[in-house]
Structure 1
Amino acid sequence: MEKQITVMSKTAFAKMVERAYTTPPLLQGNKGTLASVITSHFAQMSLQNNVWKRDTFRALLLQLHAEGCFTLLKNPGFIAVLANISAFGNKTVRDIQGWKKETAVPEAQLASLIRYSFAKYPVPEFLEHVFNTDKKVHMYWYIQLGRGDSVLALSGFPVSYTSSMAHWFRLTPPTYTVPQAIRRAQALGYGATTERAEVIAWSVLANGFENEVFWAKVVQFVAKVKEEVSLDKLQVVLEHLEALRVQQPDINMKGRTWDALLRQAEMWKAEMVKRNDAAGYMQWKPAEITDFYKAEGNVVYRTVQLTSSEALYEEGYEMNHCIAEFTDDCALGEAAIFSLRAYNSNATDTDFRRILTIEVCLKTNDILEAKGKYNEMPTQEEDKLVKEWAAKEKLTFSCEYYDGFYEPPTEEVREEQYTVTINGWCIALGAIIVLLIRGCVA
């Protein structure tokens, strides 16, 4: 029988919070109860230093319970957001006890609470999501903007911005992550179109900001290219440039054209594939899992198990993700990789569309993840196909599978007593990541 977290009445909840608040900050484990979740967060807040963290965390918990935010309080992931807010409890601009609930949606409640706590001045909505992460510097940027500081004055900002770039940063759509927002605004400041800036934002340029002197010049170059620049082509060019940069630290972009650079990059990529194939071709025995088959009208959905390093590379290349890195796991019999594809019922086996790449852990028979092109999360329709196949093959789902895919709970929330299963935590944590990607926080 599954363990459950129980949220108690107002008086009992207040007593529980007070006990957790006064408990010495010793190492605490999560025992599957709301009390243990809250106590473990208090345990990470010193009694001697930065006492405002504990005081703010207590005030947040009590105010949210008093306002009837029960769905929020039963979610361990949302409680972690409250702990992050509390880390800046000495920088709040309003009294926590003055916050009032205006919506029944927990994500919107968190967004409202963040704005109430830190924003005297407008802050871009996408930055509300940073309190769902472990990036304290990004949280501090929210606080700086909320108190009226300029984007150009943000502490530890990794890119040298112009006033135009700072303007575009503030206008970032809510669905962007912080690194994507930085690259998008940078590209727009260099004169890129909105479409080109979006391609740059979704490329590997948003993976980090090391060697920024060089990569800023690359962003400027790509922003001004007149030819069409698709994401897959840009990724190949960026990989090629990184290889050149490692070999030639003084490399620059002067005198380069997009067409010539793309040709060089594709030739380099083809050569790298040949070298890798020659050096590391591997093949392995397929796992004893039957492929999925389902016909719907003129479309046939099938999974194809990938049983060679060449097949993994081809899948990764076409889907623009890193599944080729799983070669050793598959060869050792630890993982099995499947490609979910859509075929026209009247077409040949070579005429298909790749939908998802699915990883199965053979030790536990868990589906660890299913990712679309560019590591996109499954749609609800695609998720149904995966679950239908899993049911037939008696495959289960790990928490990692829900890292980004979320289905809202259907059970009714009661004011005084309600529960959430430990297995449900995985779904709840997935919802936090969705906020980063899809901008669910209103």
Structure 2
Amino acid sequence: MRPTSPRKPTAKAAVDQAVRRALGVVAGWDLDASAAFERLVLHVRRRSDLLRPPMAGRRYDPKGCEKILSGLLSLASFHSQWLRPIDSWEPAGENLLPQFSTLARHLLAAYSVPAFLTSVWFDGSTVEARRRQGWFTHIGSGGNIRSADLPLPYTKRMAHMFLQAPDHVSVEKALRWGQVRGLGGSERLAEAVAATRLGRSFESEDFWGTVVRFLVNHPELESAQVDPIIEYLYDQRFVPRTCFDEVGGEGVERPPQPDLSMKGRTAKALWRQVAEWRRDLGVRGRPVLRWPRSGIGEFRLFEPRPGGLDGRVWTIRELLSSRALRAEGGAMRHCVAGYANLCTRRRSTIWSMAVEDHDGRRRVLTIEVDPTTRKVTQARRCCNWGPNPKDREILGLWAKNQGLSVEC
């Protein structure tokens, strides 16, 4: 007698356990919905591979069955709209998704439904998930997607192109695909737009609809430029920053350009703005941070040289953005770029001492001042070397002029 493989009972037990959990979910449903789910499970296990233990390599993968059970729960919740009895369903296809697709169409579609819509049954039972599942039943009953409860306005052309979206995309991406193609955009542009945040969200569609039209009307833009453009527009119009009033007081948080519009823009100018914004991104992918002046004055001193030769000019200026800190840190080879958050919270101010003569201008010293105590807490030359006597002389003149104490 051939010994029984230990893997199969274990896999079957895991599926049985998942089914029992699902039955626990429907226990709180009405009797008809609960009975519909039990019939679904019984027939599916008897006639198909949908609830048979799938293998990933040489191991049992429980996620496949859990996904199918989630889909069966969703189908059972629409039992009142079933068009055919479950007993007459015959599975088709070798893989799980094609088999499940034939089940969903058997129960809820009298007309052809795009393959990508099958995925809506795996989204659970949230309000938004049931809304998308309603699109499946709407099209399956012969309805036009334009008359469904869509999150964006659709034309006849868009509705036609929506039905031709690739099978592998989500329904949200398909909606964006149909919009782009319906406006006359190419398939490559439709793919590029659907791959951005616009293929996942439809918030503020009154604005994003104008962006999609702009992209369609500027075919000279490359596909690789689409996502950076959309991320730039999102950052400028919707991502809040801490703003400051005219006298340097901290104000409310608001985006840099909350009223940003696509009117009057050219593709070339927009991409130039995107490129500049990307250069301003910090090392962690954050937009450039800015802060107001501290109220401590800057410094300028002309120092003549003996013999009537040209003298030199010493300056100390405040650095007011994360971009300026990065430039200072790069030139001076130290870590002052990491002080941006301290500066935005007004726990630190950073200053750059420079000297200019007939040889040009060069950075000399990076200075930190505590704005609360008005103390100079650090002063560093290149590579974190300490200041030399001349640096201390100039630093002392500035500190005396501004009422600062030097503790470094």
Instruction: Give the structure-1-normalised TM-score.
Output: 0.53
Aligned partner of 2:40 in structure 1 is 60
Aligned partners of 2:287, 2:223: CA distance in 1, in Å? 29
Cα deviation, residue 108, structure 1: 2.2
Paired AA for residue 228 in structure 2: V
Aligned partners of 2:273, 2:234: CA distance in 1, in Å? 13
Per-residue CA deviation, residues 163-190 of structure 1 (Å, 9 max, x unaligned), is: 1111111111201111111111111121
Distance 1:143 1:71, change over 3 A: closer
Instruction: Determine whether 1:93 maps to 2:83.
Output: yes
Instruction: Determine whether 1:149 maps to 2:139.
Output: no
2:236 aligned to which of 244, 249, 265 = 244
Paired AA for residue 271 in structure 1: D
Aligned partners of 1:102, 1:276: CA distance in 2, in Å? 47
Aligned partners of 1:36, 1:42: CA distance in 2, in Å? 10
Paired AA for residue 237 in structure 1: I
2:282 aligned to which of 244, 264, 273 = 273
Distance 1:109 1:279, change over 3 A: closer
Instruction: Please give the root-mean-square deviation of Cα atoms over the aligned residues, in Å.
Output: 2.5
Aligned partner of 2:267 in structure 1 is 258
Aligned partners of 1:217, 1:165: CA distance in 2, in Å? 15
Distance 1:57 1:221, change over 3 A: same
Aligned partner of 1:76 in structure 2 is 66
Paired AA for residue 17 in structure 2: S
Cα deviation, residue 64, structure 1: 1.9
Aligned partners of 2:173, 2:164: CA distance in 1, in Å? 13
Instruction: Give the structure-2-normalised TM-score.
Output: 0.57
**How is 1:9-408 mapped onto 2 (pairs within 5 angstroms)?**
33-47=14-28, 49-67=29-47, 69-70=48-49, 72-74=51-53, 75-134=65-124, 135-155=129-149, 157-231=150-224, 233-246=225-238, 247=255, 248-273=257-282
Cα deviation, residue 211, structure 1: 0.8
Runs of 5+ consecutive residues of structure 2 not aligned to the other structure: 1-5, 54-64, 239-254, 290-408
Q: Is the 8 A contact 1:52 1:86 kept in 2?
A: no
| Structure 1 SS opposite 2:282 | helix
**How is 1:407-426 mapped onto 2 (pairs within 5 angstroms)?**
none
Aligned partners of 2:231, 2:49: CA distance in 1, in Å? 47
Percent identity, please: 27
| Structure 2 SS opposite 1:44 | helix
Distance 1:241 1:71, change over 3 A: closer
Distance 1:278 1:250, change over 3 A: closer
Aligned partners of 1:227, 1:176: CA distance in 2, in Å? 26
Q: Is the 8 A contact 1:73 1:79 kept in 2?
A: no
Cα deviation, residue 5, structure 1: 4.0
Cα deviation, residue 71, structure 1: 5.3
Question: Which segment is superposed worse, 123-132 or 255-264?
Answer: 123-132
Task: Count the aligned residue pairs.
Answer: 252
Paired AA for residue 255 in structure 1: G
Aligned partners of 1:258, 1:150: CA distance in 2, in Å? 35
Aligned partners of 1:208, 1:184: CA distance in 2, in Å? 13
Q: Is the 8 A contact 2:192 2:227 kept in 1?
A: no
Per-residue CA deviation, residues 251-308 of structure 1 (Å, 9 max, x unaligned), is: 211110111101101101111237968999xxxxxxxxxxxxxxxxxxxxxxxxxxxx
Runs of 5+ consecutive residues of structure 1 not aligned to the other structure: 8-31, 281-442
Per-residue CA deviation, residues 306-331 of structure 1 (Å, 9 max, x unaligned), is: xxxxxxxxxxxxxxxxxxxxxxxxxx
Distance 1:279 1:263, change over 3 A: closer
Higher RCO (Cα < 8 Å, 6 or more apart): 1
Aligned partners of 2:42, 2:286: CA distance in 1, in Å? 60
